[in-house]
Structure 1
Amino acid sequence: MAVCARLCGVGPARGCRRRQQRRGPAETSTADSEPDTDPEEERIEAGAAPAWPGGGPEAAGSPSSARCSLLELPPELLVEIFASLPGTDLPSLAQVCTKFRRILHTDTIWRRRCREEYGVCENLRKLEITGVSCRDVYAKLLHRYRHILGLWQPDIGPYGGLLNVVVDGLFIIGWMYLPPHDPHVGDPMRFKPLFRIHLMERKSATVECMYGHKGPHNGHIQIVKKDEFSTKCNQTDHHRMSGGRQEEFRTWLREEWGRTLEDIFHEHMQELILMKFIYTSQYDNCLTYRRIYLPPSHPDDLIKPGLFKGTYGSHGLEIVMLSFHGPHARGTKITGDPNIPAGQQTVEIDLRYRIQLPDVENLRNFNELSRIVLEVREQVRQEQQRETGGSPDPPQEPPSFRGPDELPAEDSEKSSNGAAAAEQPAPEQPVTSGHGQPFVLPVGVSSRNEDYPRTCRLCYYGTGLIAGHGFTSPERTPGVFVLFDEDRFGFLWLELKSFSLYSRVQATFRNADAPSPQAFDEMLKNIQSLTS
């Protein structure tokens, strides 16, 4: 910008400095997080040329006439130069001179900015029919709502969720991602549109709620603060059916499950209660979303971190984020249940402690596996005491592990976190090849998905978080983290005698990378604090 000004004969001692002194704070500040009062958008839309003393730099006899100036370049070359600059810099460039301002009304420049900055690949020429320019699309839609693009977690009690806000053609759409139908953990994610924003007239962008049976209807989006926004439906009657909520819920079951309420009530009662809550009430009031980031990846990670779908007993499938933190890996719940809410760390894997599983025949014996894991737990406990300078406690009798049927009803659904133990306290190298060893679940261990891999590569000691209904009496208990391949892992909960299988979410998410490892760690703390 300063180079352009000097080439045009506008040195910092002349027009630029005077103009900066005349402009108020509202003209020079960057875009606010609230779309309704976005000065950056106003600058892009206005692009007003300033009054120049003595006729401006184009005046004859100006000091710039004796040297090369951008003003001497042909307009088509200036269009190409300006189109390569960030869109947020163009309003300032428009204030250099009248010629620049006229050139910046060329829609080719803004079409390129829409494509390169926001991935809009459609032919924007069709906008001419409605009288909407590419500059309108950039300023009033894409740039104005740029703060809500990316991944978000809705604040729906303990249930959480995963919202992906993307630019889709000439729309900005909020897609709610849902796990596959239980127990098909390997199936792709399901998704539904919750809201969309589009620009069909020059005046302003339109927000529409996509929920309900009567089609898109009026909604509202407000950016509350950094990394947080809210949505509200202005016509909640569009969500209602003539038969009331019961009929509405039955219709949802037919659409989502292809089955009747009576067919699946007993099998998925808890999950149905959850989905009914979300379906019938999430837009009755203002719903808040908080930003989440994908975990950063490092070359020495065991596998690529990311989002995984996992089985959680009668709670069905849930979404977990796997991340690596030095010698530990952690699984954080993006969706939750009445026992372990979203945001909680469900499993923690200690990569310093490998577990060597016995042969298949001995592995079928649950007591043999329990003995191995408890020995590792004791080793971990003693190591932690040495690190803290304490003296080891006398050996304790191993606890008797109970099966799910032996637990109280309120404790029968809990979550765990695990990995395994070895002698060397060094993280394992990333998994690259090899088929590993045979794997089979011990007799008496339940699994909702019987189609788990029959070979595994590595096992580690870990702990899992379990709790009663309402997140009462939470505690961490030992378990086994089982790595099958790059996209699948499992966790065997010893105390619950149950096995959870996890499969990677293969979807690609834009605008979801953390700006720094520190920002990611802070995000994890924030979403966990909401449910602590």
Structure 2
Amino acid sequence: MAVCARLCGVGAARGCRRRQQRRGPAETAAADSEPDTDPEEELIEAGAAGLSAGPAPPPRLSLLELPPELLVEIFASLPGTDLSSLARVCTRFRRILHTDTIWRRRCREEYGVCEDARGLEVAGVSCRDVYAKLLHRYRHILGLWQPDIGPYGGLLNVVVDGLFIVGWMYLPPHDPHVDDPMRFKPLFRIHLMERKAATVECMYGHRGPHSGHIQIMKKDEFSTKCSQTDHHRMPGGRQEEFRTWLREEWGRTLEDIFHEHMQELILMKFIYTSQYDNCLTYRRIYLPPSRPDDLIPPGLFKGTYGSHGLELVMLSFHGGRALGTKVTGDPNIPAGQQTVEVDLAHRIQLPDVEQQRSFSELSRLVQGVQEQLRQQGAPAAAQSPHQPMEPPAKDPVEPGGAAAPSSQAQPFVLPVGVSSRKEDYPRSYRACFYGTGLIAGHGFTSPEHTPGVFVLFDDDRFGFIWLELKSFSLYSRVRVAFRHAEAPSPQAFEDMLKNIQSLTS
């Protein structure tokens, strides 16, 4: 009753009709028998009461007394998830909430939809339908995801694109062009063809959109399924599909590949990615949070991995350590594993250019850091990657535990005998640190953390020298503004890292 009284503007006044209707006959007769009061006396008594009690309170207003255009403006500023409760208050509110202006603003402010309303009218779809049956229903799949494709992983970004929700698969550029922009293609889309329900379409294959299905199993996991896999087939069969995929994925033909080992790896990846044909599961990933004392802005990077081509790595900072976690992987080191770990407390000062060409000199510098760690009784490779290591007091470090990089660029050259897929790597660096790189046999057998050197070139490029493999990997920042990809908290990001690593351990 109290809520109803506030909304309707009715209180416990003597003139309340409902209360009068509830009176019994005796109460009504008694009230009717009361002597009438002179209006002048009422005014005098009211004035005297006002003088003794102070100024009269302002009259209480009700939302129901506001004009409809003002109610529309108020309701449009509320979150869309609250409007369903508001519609249950009364018939007038429910009628006003059918105004499309309210839902057009909610679609724009919450999901970035800025479509012309006339286009919706032609399709017979309202902004209210778009919000309730498309955006709100599939809100849990917006963001970054990693597909479960054996050891290979991947990167899917689900976004609102106009009046569609589209799942874009992002692919590294062709090997070894690590500085080139990312490639992307749609895997599925969801839209409203009519007022009844949203339609899911599979975009995989070469014959255009066709029927698909999405199942949201829980908040951080969903699956896709194609209902018409015949649309994925090509007239020339699997051989033509493989050659087409090879040109698109690797930028080369089968005749360009001479090494049998590489042919085997490429064929294996093709077989795994053919899982797009039927059903695939995706698990949520977040971009790493940024802090003022980070060595460089964290994020996603493209990296060269020898015969495995280019792979995606997520660089994140954890106190005195930096981690490179694979978003895409290979049969040796699968997606989800930490490919490199960098000890930011132990900086390595490289010699002049001529001595840098000596592999034995670089090995000597790294062995010196290893000896320091051995004497401290805390080898870097044996530490938990999620627990920052306190830096030694003798090392110059910033407040966050990371050694401050040099403000001036210094010349850099790879040692003789160290191979690099990218020949035109940067020839100057800002800082070098001791680190370990993860290597393993085919099938992630006998994994081992081996020593290496992390080389920081600038805010957008770094490298890693794998001493045991005598190889060099160059990493370049992914310049894509991914939407809905921020972690809700630092702890949520840490939990995500542990989760994706445990799936491949």
Query: For the superposition of Structure 1 and Structure 2, which TM-score range results when normalised by the shorter chain?
Result: 0.7 to 0.9
Q: 2:233 is aligned with what amino acid? A: R
| Aligned pair partner of 2:350 in 339, 351, 357 | 357
Structure 2 residue 75 is matched with structure 1 residue 82: yes
Task: Report percent identity of matched pairs.
Answer: 77
- TM-fit CA distance, 1:381: 2.1
Instruction: Give unmatched runs, 5+ long, in structure 1.
Output: 14-52, 56-64, 388-419
RMSD in angstroms over aligned alpha carbons?
Answer: 2.6
Structure 2 residue 483 is matched with structure 1 residue 484: no
Say if 1:270 and 1:314, in contact at 8 Å, map to a contact too. no
- TM-fit CA distance, 1:434: 3.4
Structure 2 residue 65 is matched with structure 1 residue 72: yes
Change (3 A) 1:385 1:491: closer
Say if 1:351 and 1:421, in contact at 8 Å, map to a contact too. no
Distance 1:114 1:82 in 2: 13
Change (3 A) 1:435 1:450: farther
Alignment of 1:1-400 (within 5 A): 7-9=6-8, 67-256=60-249, 259-264=252-257, 266=259, 268-269=262-263, 272-284=266-278, 286-385=279-378
Distance 1:74 1:147 in 2: 36
| Aligned pair partner of 1:498 in 448, 454, 471 | 471
| Aligned pair partner of 2:446 in 473, 489, 500 | 473
Alignment of 1:425-504 (within 5 A): 426=397, 427-428=401-402, 434-504=407-477
Instruction: Give unmatched runs, 5+ long, in structure 2.
Output: 20-57, 381-390
Per-residue deviation, residues 27-55 of structure 1 (Å, max 9, x unmatched): xxxxxxxxxxxxxxxxxxxxxxxxxx979
Question: Hey, what does 1:513 align to over in structure 2?
Answer: 486
Q: Secondary structure at the match of 2:302?
A: strand
Say if 1:435 and 1:455, in contact at 8 Å, map to a contact too. no
Per-residue deviation, residues 103-146 of structure 1 (Å, max 9, x unmatched): 11000000000000001122133111121100000000000000
Say if 1:354 and 1:422, in contact at 8 Å, map to a contact too. no
Distance 1:349 1:275 in 2: 29
Question: Hey, what does 2:395 align to over in structure 1?
Answer: 424
Distance 1:236 1:291 in 2: 25
Change (3 A) 1:490 1:219: same
Say if 1:481 and 1:490, in contact at 8 Å, map to a contact too. yes
Change (3 A) 1:6 1:179: farther
Change (3 A) 1:203 1:480: same
- TM-fit CA distance, 1:425: 6.9
Change (3 A) 1:10 1:373: farther
Change (3 A) 1:383 1:108: same
Say if 2:150 and 2:272, in contact at 8 Å, map to a contact too. no
Change (3 A) 1:472 1:87: same
- TM-fit CA distance, 1:273: 2.1
Distance 2:378 2:458 in 1: 34
Distance 1:154 1:227 in 2: 12
Distance 1:491 1:325 in 2: 19
- TM-fit CA distance, 1:474: 0.5
Say if 1:83 and 1:110, in contact at 8 Å, map to a contact too. yes
- TM-fit CA distance, 1:331: 0.5
- Alignment TM-score, normalising by the size of structure 1: 0.80
Distance 2:189 2:233 in 1: 20
Q: 1:346 is aligned with what amino acid? A: T
Q: Secondary structure at the match of 1:91?
A: helix
Q: 2:423 is aligned with what amino acid? A: E
Q: 1:98 is aligned with what amino acid? A: T
Say if 1:160 and 1:335, in contact at 8 Å, map to a contact too. yes
- TM-fit CA distance, 1:226: 2.3
Q: Secondary structure at the match of 1:522?
A: helix
Say if 2:395 and 2:403, in contact at 8 Å, map to a contact too. no
- TM-fit CA distance, 1:421: 9.9
| Rg (Cα) greater in structure | 2
Aligned residues: 448
Distance 1:386 1:119 in 2: 49
Q: Secondary structure at the match of 1:298?
A: coil
Deviates more, 1:255-264 or 1:93-102: 255-264
Deviates more, 1:67-76 or 1:355-364: 67-76
Q: Secondary structure at the match of 2:277?
A: coil
Distance 1:490 1:173 in 2: 34
Say if 1:183 and 1:317, in contact at 8 Å, map to a contact too. yes
Q: Secondary structure at the match of 1:129?
A: helix
- TM-fit CA distance, 1:252: 2.7
Distance 2:179 2:265 in 1: 19
Distance 1:421 1:312 in 2: 33
Change (3 A) 1:279 1:473: closer
Distance 2:336 2:2 in 1: 49
Question: Hey, what does 1:407 align to over in structure 2?
Answer: none
Per-residue deviation, residues 368-397 of structure 1 (Å, max 9, x unmatched): 11001011011112213599xxxxxxxxxx
Question: Hey, what does 2:386 align to over in structure 1?
Answer: none
Per-residue deviation, residues 321-369 of structure 1 (Å, max 9, x unmatched): 0000010000000000000000001110011100000111011000011
Change (3 A) 1:513 1:381: same
Per-residue deviation, residues 291-323 of structure 1 (Å, max 9, x unmatched): 000111110000000100000110000000000
- TM-fit CA distance, 1:531: 0.6
Distance 1:180 1:434 in 2: 31
Structure 2 residue 504 is matched with structure 1 residue 531: yes
Distance 1:252 1:148 in 2: 27
Change (3 A) 1:226 1:54: farther
Say if 1:176 and 1:192, in contact at 8 Å, map to a contact too. yes
Distance 1:421 1:193 in 2: 49
Say if 1:265 and 1:272, in contact at 8 Å, map to a contact too. no
Say if 1:159 and 1:274, in contact at 8 Å, map to a contact too. no
- TM-fit CA distance, 1:3: 12
- TM-fit CA distance, 1:269: 2.8
Deviates more, 1:311-320 or 1:243-252: 243-252
- Alignment TM-score, normalising by the size of structure 2: 0.84
